[in-house]
Amino acid sequence: MRERRTHLGYLADILAAEVDDRLERRHTRRVTEAKFPRIKRLADFNLDVVPSIPPRPWATSRPAPTSTPG
């Protein structure tokens, strides 16, 4: 069953959706304009492109130690 809303409630919902959309587009535009470097992950690296690299040498290595603040 469809929810009954007042006219002002409907307009408030539309306004909230518009504000959310504008904030998302502003965030996307600012990140694009900042020209941050693309995020690169080892999992995304294609080993077939560079056959001289042994397959997954990092798979058997220990995790990097984490530093504790202070």
User: Quick count: other Cβ atoms within 10 Å of Cβ 47?
Assistant: 13
Give the model's pLDDT for residue 45: 79
25 with 17: CB under 8 angstroms? Answer: no
DSSP, residue by residue, 22-50: HHHHHHHHHHHHHTPPPP--GGG--TTT-
Return the pLDDT at 55.
Answer: 66
Closest-CA residue to 45 (of 61, 33, 66, 59): 59
Give the model confidence (pLDDT) of 10-69 as tens digits.
999 999 999 999 999 999 999 899 998 888 887 887 878 887 877 665 555 566 666 666
> CA-to-CA distance for 27 and 33, rounded, in angstroms?
10
Entry pTM: 0.47
